[in-house]
Amino acid sequence: MTLNLKPLFDLGQTTTESDSIDELLTETKLGPRDGAGKTVVVAMSGGVDSAVTALIMRERGYRVIGMNLRLFSPGDPEHAVNPCCGIPAMEDARMTCALIGVPFYAINMESEFSHEVVDRFVSEYAAGRTPNPCLECNRHVKFRHLVHRAHELGADFLATGHYARIEHSTEGPHRLFRAVDGKKDQSYVLYTLDQAQLGFIQFPLGHLTKPEVRRLARHYGLPVADKAESQEICFVGKGSYADFVAARRPDVTVPGDIVNVDGEKLGEHQGLVRHTIGQRRGIGIPRAEPLYVMKLDMKKNELVVGSRQDAEAPALTADRISFTSGFWPSEPIACTVSVRYRGHPAPATIIAGEESTRTALIEFSGDRPIAAPGQAIVFYRDDEVLGGGTIATIVRSAAERSGELIGSQAT
């Protein structure tokens, strides 16, 4: 039986505003009202996106259970350094669930988060790579444990406030797509979802824009309707990621030489951890033509810089490759790829290695991006997410390319 939501508070809506809200409550926007007799666990972060997700799933007729993962407690007593984590966020999630009348569970996952995300983040930066902690959190903590807990509760689905779309299928593979709102699309950090997860997960916000989500939240009086979004890495907060890493790995702050592609010394850096590949500002060497960071040479403790053209990647290799369809390709794939969160898609060809290696060579056929080992590279066909992996090496010469083709399926 469908639950017809009513505004939780009398907000004095005009007819025009009510009509606007009605447009947002259509099945085109929210999905079919198919929840009668079914249970869904909703991941409740304490923000407006997850709050509206719970609201939507209730409106679609599901029995909703709110679940908050306590991932990280900021060091300050008030948790004000980054309030997206810890007690304040958990209490916001609890308040929302109480207001819309659904049960709430809080699960402490700080140990798992510390090991799988924070420790990995530090070790990757200390190794000269550029990790994506949000992706690793999704891969190793959020979806792994949320799906498990939802199954334990006998739920039919897990729903989260991510901006992406899933097309479920009873005959072919489930498919993952970008969100309608390109400014909020999070498909880049979701490519690791496998078929079992895609079949069990729903993203109710995929057809909504962020302003529409806030309109729904305000209309129904949700306490987090105007809550600001966190723009920082949750466990770093408002500080510098370099300071965060340096506090745990002082060895990465040793000064060294800045050199060009020919090995000529141009200056000195104050620790490789304070630089990332593709960086243009903050190198400290004035030039008529901007310099870009090309490489962090950890063995020599050298920062290698060059022109934009020097820094661009004609090709690269990636490991930990996965494809959302669950099938490993036997032929090269022409598609577009992104090497940064909401980065500009670049045309490329994916040449997969043997399936047992989970590796691939990616050759760019148009714009050449600046990429860094450790970053995610995500494969798209139009708006569909085909898969992705982790950048392993940058291939800039024909000799390097020839070497990287060994073991691939290219002929």
Percentage of residues of the chain with pLDDT beyond 70: 88
Task: Give the residue-averaged pLDDT of 333-359.
Answer: 94
pLDDT digits (tens, 9 = 90+) for 347-377: 999 999 999 999 999 999 988 999 999 999 9
Rounded Cα gap, residues 324 and 146, in angstroms: 19
The single residue of 84, 134, 137, 335 carrying the catalytic annotation is 137
Report the candidate in 160, 213, 198, 206 with the shortest Cα–Cα distance to residue 179.
206
Amino acid symbol at 95: M
In this predicted structure, what is the pLDDT of residue 293? 95
**Percentage with pLDDT > 90 across the chain:** 70
What's the mean pLDDT in 11-39? 79
For 5-103, strand residue ranges (E) read 39-43, 63-70
* 251 vs 97 pLDDT, higher one: 97
Residue 15 to residues 19, 358, 404, Cα–Cα distance (Å): 6, 56, 63
Q: What's the pLDDT score for residue 15?
A: 46
The model carries a pTM of 0.89
Q: How confident is the model at residue 9 (pLDDT cuts 50, 70, 90)?
A: very low
| Largest distance between two CA atoms of the chain | 73
> By the 8 A CB rule, do 48 and 225 touch?
yes
Please name every residue paired with 39 in a beta bridge, in sequence order, or none if there are none: 63
Place of tokens 């869904």: 40
- Region label for 341, one of left (φ > 0), alpha (ψ between -120 and 50) or beta (otherwise): beta
Confidence of residue 19 (pLDDT cuts 50, 70, 90): low
Distances from the Cα of 101 to the Cα of 24, 70, 165, 218, angstroms: 21, 21, 27, 17
Q: What is the pLDDT of residue 125?
A: 93
Position 402 pLDDT exceeds 70? no
83-106: pLDDT as tens digits: 566 778 889 999 999 999 999 999
Q: Determine the Cα–Cα distance for residues 182 and 346; give it in Å rounded to an integer.
A: 16
pLDDT in tens, 265-318: 999 999 999 999 989 988 988 888 899 999 999 999 999 999 999 999 999 999
Task: Quote the pLDDT of residue 89.
Answer: 85
Q: Decide if 234 is catalytic.
A: yes
- Sketch out the chain's domains with CATH numbers: 15-161+204-219 (3.40.50.620), 254-310 (2.30.30.280), 311-404 (2.40.30.10)
Which pLDDT belongs to residue 2? Answer: 42
- What pLDDT score does 72 carry? 78
pLDDT at 12 over 60: no
So what's the pLDDT on residue 288? 83
Query: How much is the average pLDDT of 234-254?
Result: 86
What was the pLDDT predicted at 80?
A: 56
Mean pLDDT of the region 214-240: 86
DSSP 326: S
With a cut of 90, say whether residue 166 has pLDDT above it: yes
